[in-house]
Amino acid sequence: MESALTNATGQTNFTNLDWGIVAVYLLLSVAVAFWVKRFAGNMTNFVGAGRAVGTWLGIATLTGTEMGLITVMYSAQKGFTSGFAAFHIGVIGGIVAFLVGMTGLIVVRLRKHEVLTIPEYYGKRYGPRTRILGGIMLAFGGLLNMGLFLKVGAMFIVGITGMNPDGSALKLVMVGLLVLVLIYTVIGGMISVVITDYIQFVVLSIGILVTGYLAVESVGGFAALFDEADKLKGREWFDPTDPKSGFGTEYLAWMFFLGIVNCALWPTAVARALAMESTTALKRQYKWSSISFAIRMIIPNLLGICAFIFVMNKAPDLQALFFPEESDANQVNNLYAMPIYLGRILPAGLIGLITAAMIAAFMSTHDGYLLCWSSVITQDIIAPLFKERLNNPTRIKITRILIILIGLYILYWGLFYGGEEDIWDYMAITGAIYFTGAFSLLFGGLYWKRASSTGAVLALVAGCTAILGLGPVQQAIHSYIPGSLDGKAIILAEDTTVKFEEFEEKDSPEKSFIHYMFTDFIMAPFEQAKPWRRNALQEWTAMIRQPSGILQAVEVTYSSNDEIEVENWPKFEPKNGDIVSFYKPISGARVGLMTIAFTMLVFFVGSILFPDRKLQVIIQDDSKSNKTISLDSTGTKISNNKNESQMP
């Protein structure tokens, strides 16, 4: 029997003509990889495109990688759920990119060190152990970060082309996309990435602008769009500081830091900076790219908003899918909303071009990311373990093998990860495992002479605490989250209500003023429950555990001192004797900000308490004057000796 979702995706304007357009584009992309294979003979060319990328090509390739299909999908999802309030993410990103271009924050000094990867800089500044650990942390956080790219890209193609999402189509599309990306990334390296990024930048820029215009027209123009958004959602859809918007000032602060990350810390963006022909071109690249950093989020946000208005006003079948009235009905993943919507409003022919543009965006991101993570593992983990004895052909071969292995991993992770976070929030949390520590190491190493290798190692390890922002991790350790409530046995379960032994208010012993101040400071990020009050546990998460150990998490909609209500049970209906416990989920933004502060504190204290015994010195050849320039770890010249050829 055909499901409602299958019926919804089947109502698309996608035709055989559109399939032909997509096929031709993909064949051209693969042809480029074979054409540039002869230029990828060493690691500098394979990973860094020979460090010869000019300003405008740099802007195109940076935009092509950072505006991938995953970006379009998670931004559209944010627009679908949060409206115009989500625009702040793109606006902040654009402003921060421009500031980085003006100041050269981190990236200019990093470019002067002529490294291929960020962990390579760690090795020069802090030593080999920091380089290896930094490479491991970068690879771990980066691989988790891109784990859902493949699945989300396949969901777009299934949704817009009318394939059957209930069958094996999603898995087959994931495999097909992966094979395509692996072929030309393995063959051509960064050179093929840069060239295809440029082509995809042109196709995507035109396609996304045309799509945005048609999307607005499909709901009656901008005036009607604003009016309907205000009527359906109100202020929360326009003001990110509104309590009901799902954002708030804490989230805005988190987005500002993520803006710095996207420009100056995230390896795929930094890889483009390190491939630039000069620091002047690098700064110009960031200033102009700031426009695309904003647009890449805002236009997909707009598509998501238009999709929501269309669903609510013109597509009752889709409204039943994404916002079911029955409490026991399964809500369809809202990532499908935008591609299904585009499949209905775009005409045949044009929809093929848009799909090709989106697949181009998908390929732009994947090629850059696969090359980045594989080269980090080769250059910064494997090569140092072999004492740098690996020659160029061996390194390229290892990198190509790793690209394939990473591809297989993201296929597995996309099929089996069960978290419920918005994709954007998932990426921010997983990326924080790497970039919270990286910020301390890069900023401290480039601008602070007393930064030590021990402080760097401690900061990298401290960054692992960011993983606590993931929903499945919080569920697994919920009993250890400050403020959580111990389990109580269920004595009665009826429909969506469970009863248990009542909570009683406890007398608090007298404490000193200093004790109160210390407790308040430590517990400030964690909400303290007073479950004896009505609705004190509303929006908390109830964890139901069966005697066999099976768990399910569900949000509480109503509570009193001896019972709770929920909308529905996602896995099983509780029974008498099951155990219910409670915790308040910590937002990813809060976990991220806490991790930043924690890693910086650890880095600072570790560097002060455990200084390096001798100054790290970086030797840099000046081929023009036949001299060797000795630089300290911040890039400051120490000496200029004609015959100096090794570290003093």
Give the pLDDT of residue 210.
Answer: 87
On whether the CB atoms of residues 141 and 430 are closer than 8 A, the answer is yes
3-state SS, residue 551: strand
pLDDT at 161 over 70: yes
pLDDT classification of 239: cutoffs 50, 70, 90: very high
**Phi, psi torsion values for 583, nearest 5 degrees:** -150, 155
Query: Would you say the CATH fold of 484-504+513-585 matches that of 4-321+329-416?
Result: no
pLDDT classification of 646: cutoffs 50, 70, 90: very low
pTM of the predicted model, to two decimals?
A: 0.83
pLDDT classification of 521: cutoffs 50, 70, 90: low
Q: Token match 């093998």: residue?
A: 401
Least confidently predicted of 59-63, 232-236, 313-317, 555-559: 59-63
434-469 pLDDT, tens digit per residue, is 999 999 999 999 999 999 999 999 999 999 999 999
Mean pLDDT of 551-556: 93
Minimal CA–CA distance to 229: which of 304, 296, 341, 336? 304
Which residue has better confidence, 47 or 238? Answer: 238
Which residue has better confidence, 520 or 296? Answer: 296
pLDDT at 518 over 90: no
Give the pLDDT of residue 78.
Answer: 95
pLDDT at 630 over 60: no
3-state SS, residue 289: helix
Measure the CA–CA gap between 482 and 590, rounded to whole angstroms. 14
Q: What is the percent of the chain where pLDDT is above 90?
A: 45
572-606 pLDDT, tens digit per residue, is 999 999 999 999 999 999 999 999 999 999 999 99
Which residue has better confidence, 45 or 574? Answer: 574
Helices (H), 240-349: 249-260, 267-274, 279-314, 316-322, 337-345
Would you tell me which CATH number, out of the four given (1.20.1730.10, 3.30.70.2860, 3.40.630.30, 2.40.440.10), belongs to the domain 4-321+329-416? 1.20.1730.10
pLDDT classification of 268: cutoffs 50, 70, 90: confident
Give the pLDDT of residue 273.
Answer: 73
Residues whose CB is less than 8 angstroms from the CB of residue 45 and which lie 6 or more positions away in sequence, other chains included: 39, 189, 190, 191
3-state SS, residue 265: helix
pLDDT at 73 over 80: yes
Would you tell me which CATH number, out of the four given (2.40.30, 1.10.10, 2.40.160, 2.60.120), belongs to the domain 484-504+513-585? 2.40.30
**Residue 410 is which amino acid?**
I
365-381 pLDDT, tens digit per residue, is 777 778 778 888 988 89
pLDDT at 634 over 70: no
Give the pLDDT of residue 230.
Answer: 94
189-215 pLDDT, tens digit per residue, is 555 556 666 666 677 777 888 899 999
pLDDT at 50 over 50: no
Q: Please write down the HEC assignment for all residues of 169-210.
A: HHHHHHHHHHHHHHHHHHHHHHHHHHHHHHHHHHHHHHHHHH
| Exposed/middle/buried for residue 408 (C-beta within 10 Å: 0-12, 13-18, 19+) | exposed
Q: What is the CA radius of gyration of the chain?
A: 26
Give the pLDDT of residue 187.
Answer: 64
Per domain, the residue ranges of the chain are 4-321+329-416, 420-481+589-610, 484-504+513-585, 614-648
pLDDT at 607 over 60: yes
Q: What is the percent of the chain where pLDDT is above 70?
A: 82
Which residue has better confidence, 188 or 98? Answer: 98
88-116 pLDDT, tens digit per residue, is 999 999 999 999 989 989 988 888 887 87
Measure the CA–CA gap between 401 and 27, rounded to whole angstroms. 23
11-40 pLDDT, tens digit per residue, is 899 999 999 999 888 787 667 656 655 544
Q: Please write down the HEC assignment for all residues of 601-648.
A: HHHHHHHHHCCCCCCCEEEEEECCCCEEEEEECCCCEEEEECCCCCCC
Give the pLDDT of residue 231.
Answer: 94
Give the pLDDT of residue 45.
Answer: 44
Which residue has better confidence, 329 or 79? Answer: 79
